[in-house]
Structure 1
Amino acid sequence: MGLARTAFLGLGLAFLFYQLASRFYTILPIHIGGQVEKQFELVEATFRKNFQDGWERDGASFVVYHKGKKVVDLWGGYADTASLRKWKEDTISVVFSSTKAVAALCVALLVDRGQLKYDDLVTKHWPEFGKHGKENVTVQWVMSHMAGLAYVDEAISEEDALDHKRLARIFEEQKPNWPPGTATGYHALTYGWLVDQLIRRADPQKRGIGQFFRENIAQPNNIDFHIGLPKEQQYRVARMTLPSIMDTISEMMTDIRVVKFVASMVKILSDTPLSRVNKNPSWLNHGGVNTYNNPDYHRMEQAAALGIGNARSLAQIFQLMLDGKIIKKETLSQFSKLFINQTDVVMGLTIAKGQGLFFEPLRRKHAEKTDLLCGHLGYGGQNVNFDLKNNLVLAYVNNGLKTGMGDLCRTYIRLRDAVYDVIEQESHSTN
């Protein structure tokens, strides 16, 4: 009991010092740009408060579409705090695993065109894949992290990552981490390479995912999102910083669930599926050194973690989807349907998945159990979500990375709650 009391007192003092130190964030001028519809002014005030409270230590962007109209488009802070480079309207940043939602939409587009089906065997399009017990793996299992390929045993070099034929061989020769289809386990990086291989084979033009996305979605709609960033656009990329111990403590004090999340990540230190996922490739990590800042890696077409854009481009993609301008409504109905909801054997958390998306209960007072937010979280707090019931798209991108992800990212949840407060108030007023 004495040790527990001492530890709690130590945490309390640390948090107090953090709160005092966080005031220094406000020494730098707070730069906020953008526009909101009048009824969404609460969201702008909330965005500003994230900076004032020191929760947003670098920069961020947040965009909302409601009923087909862009009602919030905000950006602020610094793209590089160390050099006082401001986050501007056209600043872009690595969105980590939120890239998976964009990759999933590319697959849905092939499904929409009849060139791929979720219940297809992967071997229908990629015969060599079916070695070592992988012959029954379906496209849906790949998209729902059920293929048993969360990690590979052969070390993936930087040269391998730039050569899709070498990557294909690595996955063809890999034995499944568990019997495919019997469990779901987060394919944190392998998802991107597997989806790229599927697209190369199902697309009649045999394009890789970067080119496929660019030519089918980005260029026709003038979307500033990249899976493989052109070198000449590097100057716009925000520099990411990792959360300090004090940042993490502050997040824990705000939401006790962050404590449980951090505790679950301790598995990365021992020989577990999560540690194996994290160790390969060794050169792409966000541990003590964040190699995701390496411009060379921004050129890679890595569709699980290296998409680069901002909240505006992410929101625009999924609003076009809701508008029926990328896939048909019947395909959207299939795309937005939960497929599996059970404990993830890599993360140790219950995660609902399907078609390359994550699904999250809405958790609002008047929401029904079947009301879901679809989309994908990303490391450091990145988020893109769409809500079919409320005809809503939300996207958040930041470069001052957070410990909590998804609904544990306090800056995003504060913004998301403000959006729903406005929508619910508006709905109550009209009724």
Structure 2
Amino acid sequence: MYSSSSLFRLILGTVLLSVAYRFFCDRLYSNHKPEINGFVDERFTKVREVFMKNFEKGWESEGSAFAVFIDGKKVVDLWGGYADKQAARKWAEDTITVTFSTTKAAAALAVALLYEQGKLSYDDPVSKYWPGFGTHGRDNVTIQMALSHMSGMAWFDTPITEEIAADHEQMRQIIENEEPKWAPGTKTGYHAYTYGWLVDQIVRHTDDRKRGIGQYFREEIASKLDVDYHIGLPLSEQHRVARISTPNMLNRIDEMLTDIRVLKYMKSLIKLMTDHPLAHIVKNPSWLEAVSRCTINNPDYHRLEQAAALGMGNARSLASLFDKVSRGQLVNQATLNTISKPFVNESDFIFDDTVAKGHGFFHLPINRAGAQFGFGHTGHGCQMVITDLKNRVTIAYVTNGLKTGLYDLCRTYWGLQSSVYDVIEQINI
């Protein structure tokens, strides 16, 4: 445990190192003014202005993309900045990036489709389809509980190597032999990485062809809906991937100066230095890191079918995907009604925050234009997708310059969502 004085010295030292880093490394960057490209419906010109100001204020350190669909019509599709700032490679129309935990929402659609086809029920025990999962007191864990981060399997004690992560049979055996970290079903704790391996096994054990999540998503969802989103990126698409950078301490402090509430996310950094469950989660797999450094840039990892953190796409693909889902192009209205409602709305003991969850999605407050909440998912660094069924609006944002805050505490994203609803409320779409 760090004392207050040692923690202060650590933070001060980090700030000084960050200053030095910025002084020297910025000289490697291109001095070209970031370009903003794309399309906005004439009614949404304010959104373009907010997008541009994110760069002008220095809030976007690298690049980003933002898209909005309303009832099947694309009204905003913007991108700008750099896909790789040090190489002066600009963010292009077809640039894609790791979307971190927004992947969970995309993977949840695979389960929703299997549910609609009658291959599974959310209320069924996982062990009904995957008997080996029923060990160690997990026989009561339903598919809904697993998708709502209630299975007690938020982290694994068994070290997950790169080779194991790429082998679904080894992952299955590890999960079956791993003991839950709390009594399953008694509370919710975010399954940051393990969600992806659990969903993969659920899909493998319920799909008639025993496909993994990456293949199932590609063949049954992405291809049929014509969306450029991948869980397991083909090598041929690697040239489009943006290079990710993590925020330095100056970036984080600047976010806090904009909104002091961001401090609650800074507390996560302290948790990583202690024996907190979050530290156990982040340290395994040890080779997959995106907090202080970014091993996520390793192209080999982009090939992994890791359905919790390594989905690849852009704002347009995410928004198009969930817009099509909202309009019944993947599942019917009854299934949509089911998955758009939360299952649990209580404090997540790993987040230390209340987050409504259910069916693999986050259900996040909107409280604009008559909509109380939307369903989708946040992602590390401020990735975002959300669908508002009342107003038929789907919004998505991705960035390769990671931020500290999420959703309403991510200043780059929240200003954009707010500007969209300013327009919606004015024109009453």
- TM-score band, normalised by the shorter chain? over 0.9
**Residue 413 in structure 1 maps to residue 417 in structure 2:** no
Query: Which residue in the other structure is 1:235 paired with?
Result: 239
Residue 362 (structure 1) shift = 1.2
**Residue 92 in structure 1 maps to residue 96 in structure 2:** yes
Q: How does 1:267-282 map to 2 (within 5 A)?
A: 267-282=271-286
Residue 155 (structure 1) shift = 0.7
Q: Give the number of aligned pairs.
A: 413
C-alpha separation in 2, matches of 1:35 and 1:393: 16
Select 1:40's aligned residue among 37, 41, 44: 44
**What's the secondary structure of 1:83's corresponding residue?**
coil
The answer to whether the Cα contact below 8 Å between 1:264 and 1:348 also exists between their aligned partners in 2 is: no
The answer to whether the Cα contact below 8 Å between 1:192 and 1:303 also exists between their aligned partners in 2 is: yes
**Residue 289 in structure 1 maps to residue 289 in structure 2:** no
Tell which deviates more after alignment, 86-95 or 287-296.
287-296
Query: Which residue in the other structure is 2:164 paired with?
Result: 160
**What's the secondary structure of 1:106's corresponding residue?**
helix
**What's the secondary structure of 1:79's corresponding residue?**
strand
Residue 167 (structure 1) shift = 0.3
The answer to whether the Cα contact below 8 Å between 2:161 and 2:285 also exists between their aligned partners in 1 is: yes
For each residue in 1:342-376, what CA deviation from the matched residue of structure 2 results, as whole angstroms up to 9, or x when unmatched?
11122211111000111111144x646xx102110
Query: Which residue in the other structure is 2:221 paired with?
Result: 217
Q: Which amino acid is 2:295 matched to?
A: T
**Residue 59 in structure 1 maps to residue 63 in structure 2:** yes
Q: How does 1:316-331 map to 2 (within 5 A)?
A: 316-331=320-335
Residue 189 (structure 1) shift = 0.2
Query: Which residue in the other structure is 2:316 paired with?
Result: 312
C-alpha separation in 1, matches of 2:207 and 2:292: 39
C-alpha separation in 1, matches of 2:291 and 2:426: 42
CA RMSD after TM alignment: 2.2
**Residue 343 in structure 1 maps to residue 344 in structure 2:** no
The answer to whether the Cα contact below 8 Å between 1:32 and 1:77 also exists between their aligned partners in 2 is: yes
**What's the secondary structure of 1:146's corresponding residue?**
coil
The answer to whether the Cα contact below 8 Å between 2:71 and 2:323 also exists between their aligned partners in 1 is: no
The answer to whether the Cα contact below 8 Å between 1:26 and 1:52 also exists between their aligned partners in 2 is: no
Q: Which amino acid is 1:95 matched to?
A: T
Select 2:198's aligned residue among 194, 206, 214: 194
Select 1:262's aligned residue among 266, 281, 304: 266
Q: Which amino acid is 2:366 matched to?
A: L
Select 1:71's aligned residue among 75, 96, 108: 75
Q: How does 1:298-309 map to 2 (within 5 A)?
A: 298-309=302-313
Tell which deviates more after alignment, 286-295 or 378-387.
286-295
C-alpha separation in 1, matches of 2:366 and 2:326: 18
Relative to structure 1, the CA distance from residue 264 to residue 244 in structure 2 (aligned partners, 3 Å threshold; closer, same or farther) is closer
Q: Which amino acid is 1:358 matched to?
A: F
For each residue in 1:89-128, what CA deviation from the matched residue of structure 2 results, as whole angstroms up to 9, or x when unmatched?
0000000000000001110010111111100100110001
Listed as ranges, the gaps of 5+ residues in structure 2 are: none
Q: How does 1:25-36 map to 2 (within 5 A)?
A: 27-36=31-40
- How high is the TM-score relative to the length of structure 1? 0.92
Q: Which amino acid is 1:335 matched to?
A: I
What is the identity percentage for the equivalent residue pairs of Structure 1 and Structure 2?
52
**Residue 172 in structure 1 maps to residue 176 in structure 2:** yes
C-alpha separation in 2, matches of 1:267 and 1:289: 17
The answer to whether the Cα contact below 8 Å between 1:26 and 1:54 also exists between their aligned partners in 2 is: no
Q: Which amino acid is 1:235 matched to?
A: H
Q: Which amino acid is 1:77 matched to?
A: G
C-alpha separation in 1, matches of 2:272 and 2:62: 27
The answer to whether the Cα contact below 8 Å between 1:59 and 1:78 also exists between their aligned partners in 2 is: yes
**Residue 145 in structure 1 maps to residue 165 in structure 2:** no
For each residue in 1:361-407, what CA deviation from the matched residue of structure 2 results, as whole angstroms up to 9, or x when unmatched?
1144x646xx1021100001100000111110000010011111222
- How high is the TM-score relative to the length of structure 2? 0.92
Residue 267 (structure 1) shift = 1.3
Q: Which amino acid is 2:410 matched to?
A: C
C-alpha separation in 1, matches of 2:229 and 2:90: 20
**What's the secondary structure of 1:353's corresponding residue?**
strand
Residue 269 (structure 1) shift = 1.1
Query: Which residue in the other structure is 2:122 paired with?
Result: 118
Query: Which residue in the other structure is 1:402 paired with?
Result: 403
Residue 264 (structure 1) shift = 4.2
Residue 241 (structure 1) shift = 0.6
C-alpha separation in 1, matches of 2:332 and 2:150: 26
Residue 289 (structure 1) shift = 1.9
